[in-house]
Amino acid sequence: MKNWRNKGITLLCVSMLVVIVAGCNSDSDAKSEVKTFNSDNIKEIYVQTDSQNIELSRSSNEQIEVRSTDKGVTTAEEGGSLKVNAPESSSVFNPKTTTVYVALPNQLYEKVNLTTKSGKITGKDSKTKELNVSGDSGSIDINGFEGEKIVTHMSAGDINLVGISGGMEASADTGNINISHQGEIGQDSSVRSNSGGIEVKLDPAPSSLSINAVTNSGKIESSLKSSSGPSGSDKELHAQIGKVTDGSPVLSLETSSGTIVIK
């Protein structure tokens, strides 16, 4: 009797393991649902997920494409806006993290807004006047941004912005921030982390910029030739690039605990 009971428990455990493994398969193992939209009248994109990842990319045609294996994803076109929402998954035995894929045609949008409670947000070749990206936990990776301003915030996780232009506001409660910026900044910008390091690379450098950097617990490393700061202090730096006037933009870098690197 005891052996039969042990065998029953073993079979139950094996069955549960099979269900869990099946649920952990990647998006490619499940059928994706694809929705397309005419991009002519859409000027703003809003994507919000609960625990799903978000991947933004460039479309190969003139249509906006939304794709996901999560059947709970909803889309709504309201006036000049497209709203994509992925609520919390109701499946108990499906712990995999799905991804909402959004592909946009090569045109300039007024605003793109990406938000997740728990997930990774990635973007490539974004082209919009304003790009807002935020999350409670996870990470933000943007590779290529052309526009007026990019705003990112992560409560717990790292932020990586590569090949971006225009103004920027990046903040993290806990996490590192790495930025590679190209050319003119154009407006006052800020990069702040409560607990984490900050690295900013300016290549090519803007023609006119003031930089103010402060760390409470850490140090500042800079390769800027025009760097200047309080004598004997490695926790505060003030620098200028090019010919600075009263109207020149200011870049503020600040971390409570971490190192600031400026290249």
Rounded to two decimals, what is the model's pTM?
0.85
pLDDT of residue 24: 45
Confidence of residue 223 (pLDDT cuts 50, 70, 90): confident
- From CA 215, how far away is CA 208, in angstroms rounded? 24
> Cα–Cα distances in Å, from 12 out to 6, 8, 27, 215, 226?
10, 6, 27, 55, 69
In angstroms, how far apart are the furthest CA atoms of the chain? 88
Tokens 């903040």 sit on residue: 171
- From CA 88, how far away is CA 83, in angstroms rounded? 16
Q: Count Cβ atoms below 10 Å from residue 81 Cβ, excluding itself.
A: 16
| Mean pLDDT value across residues 56-67 | 95
Assess whether pLDDT exceeds 70 at residue 226: no
Confidence of residue 31 (pLDDT cuts 50, 70, 90): confident
Q: For the chain, how many residues are written? A: 263
Tokens 């025009």 sit on residue: 226
Assess whether pLDDT exceeds 90 at residue 170: yes
